[in-house]
Structure 1
Amino acid sequence: MSSPVQPAQENTISQTDYLQLFTKELTYQDPLKPIDNREFMAQMAQFSSLQEARSTNENLRRLLELTSSSQSLMLLQKSVKLRDSNQLGKVIDIEFPDGSPPLLNISVNGGYIKKTLLDVSEVS
């Protein structure tokens, strides 16, 4: 029986780690073949670009969470139609679980169901 595939861990290195590694490289370099400064500058530029891309990605993720929360709050006490079943219900309250999209507690036919914003097809 095979074992489940484990997700690859993200290898991250900080700018400080990179500079320490570069300093070690300079310490042990061959004096007859010094490192090319252009290569170092290109690597630093790539590293800075990568850090900025990661920061932008994190900011976009946070913006998406805030937008989803805001849109969910606007549905409070509204009648909604569910995408999967075409049932009509009223959003009674909203839960905000950590790391997950908001859950709408919807009153449907005397009972309650929990759905995400993506499960709503119409609002009235």
Structure 2
Amino acid sequence: METFSGTDISKTISSQDMAQTRRMVEATNVDLTGKREVSGDLGKDDFLKLLITQLSNQDPTNPMEDREFIAQMAQFSSLEQMTNLNSEFKAMSRMLGAGQAMNLLGKDVAVYDGDSRIEGSVTEVTTGSVPMVMVNDRYYSLEDVQSIRTPQQQLNQNVN
């Protein structure tokens, strides 16, 4: 006899229904295997699938209460908004990185390439998901820039 949270399931669900439920769960698990990359994160699609599964398999004599359903829909809405915000933050981060790279044009920088330190003037910039700066005719990631200096020539012009 199986128990669930201290409740005897055999009093709540018939053995035929229990067997049918187990077959459905096993079939669903087999169906999902190989179709989806397993990840520790649940997305909004996963949440919606869980909600639909819960609604379609609820006990018709004891359906989910309105409060529970509204709470789950609010959670789904929050999850969707967080996903949208995350996408917008990624786009904004890319734009900020591109702007930061553009500001380095004409400046002297020190870039680390492994263990060696490369110094030179930024002559070109590429934008995209990983902004790059060209120093001494070679591209480096913006993240590799360790120090930035205004060129000596510009300093002399500002003093005069």
User: Could you tell me which residue of structure 2 aligns to residue 118 of structure 1?
Assistant: 143
Percent of aligned pairs with the same residue?
A: 26
Match of 1:79 among 108, 114, 132: 108
How has the CA–CA distance of structure 1 residues 11 and 63 changed in structure 2, closer, same or farther, with 3 Å as cutoff?
Answer: closer
Aligned-residue Cα RMSD (Å) equals: 3.0
Aligned residues: 108
- TM-aligned CA deviation for residue 86 of structure 1: 2.4
TM-score (norm 2): 0.56
- TM-aligned CA deviation for residue 39 of structure 1: 1.1
Measure, in 1, the Cα distance between the counterparts of 2:106 and 2:38. 43
Partner SS for 1:92: strand
- The amino acid of 1:40's aligned partner reads F
Which structure is higher in RCO with an 8 Å CA cutoff and minimum separation 6?
1
User: Could you tell me which residue of structure 1 aligns to residue 31 of structure 2?
Assistant: none
Partner SS for 1:76: coil
- TM-aligned CA deviation for residue 8 of structure 1: 3.4
User: Could you tell me which residue of structure 1 aligns to residue 29 of structure 2?
Assistant: none
Matched, 1:69 2:94: no
Deviation by residue 1:71-123 (Cα, 9 ceiling, x = unmatched): 000001111011342221111111224xx31111111xxxx211111111111
User: Could you tell me which residue of structure 1 aligns to residue 65 of structure 2?
Assistant: 36
How has the CA–CA distance of structure 1 residues 91 and 8 changed in structure 2, closer, same or farther, with 3 Å as cutoff?
Answer: farther
TM-score (norm 1): 0.71
